[in-house]
């Protein structure tokens, strides 16, 4: 009887593992997109324009580095990336696909509480 229960649970475990693997792949793609498309302006250092602007705006009330933020809502990230915002032009679907945008939206708020 115990063997039947163990064998019956294997598909559930495989599915759960597949979900974690898919999430890991999405986060890895999001990190790659961040490094390819965002880090140039939003990386570490005052020479990075986006980081400099956010540092001046938040005055240490929030981290200037996007990768250190804990308050980024996925909807906000999508809106900023697809529409014009003060100092940042939108990224068209030809520049970052919807799949890439979804991965980036999963990657950036990974530190949220």
- Counted domains in the chain: 1
Q: What is the pLDDT of residues 15-29, one digit of tens each?
A: 455 688 889 999 999
Q: What is the pLDDT of residues 74-103, one digit of tens each?
A: 999 999 999 988 888 899 999 999 999 999
Would you say 40 and 111 are in contact if contact means Cβ atoms under 8 Å apart? no
Say what the pLDDT of residue 45 is.
Answer: 83
Tokens at 87, concatenated: 């100092």
| pTM of the complete model | 0.78
* Count of CB atoms situated within 10 Å of the CB of 78: 15
Tokens at 43, concatenated: 């990386």
Q: Within the chain, where are the H helices? A: 2-33, 39-42, 49-58, 74-82, 98-107
Q: What is the pLDDT of residues 53-62, one digit of tens each?
A: 999 999 999 9
Show the domain range for 44.
Answer: 2-111
CATH code of 76's domain: 1.10.760
């Amino acid at each position: 009887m115990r063997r039947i229960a163990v064998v019956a649970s294997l598909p559930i475990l495989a599915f759960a593992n597949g979900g974690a693997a898919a999430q890991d792949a999405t986060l890895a793609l999001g990190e790659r997109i961040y490094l390819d498309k965002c880090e140039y302006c939003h990386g570490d250092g005052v020479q990075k324009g986006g980081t400099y602007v956010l540092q001046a705006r938040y005055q240490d009330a929030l981290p200037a580095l996007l990768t250190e933020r804990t308050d980024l809502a996925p909807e906000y990230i999508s809106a900023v990336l697809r529409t014009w915002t003060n100092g940042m032009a939108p990224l068209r679907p030809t520049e970052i696909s919807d799949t890439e945008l979804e991965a980036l939206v999963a990657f950036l708020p990974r530190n949220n509480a």
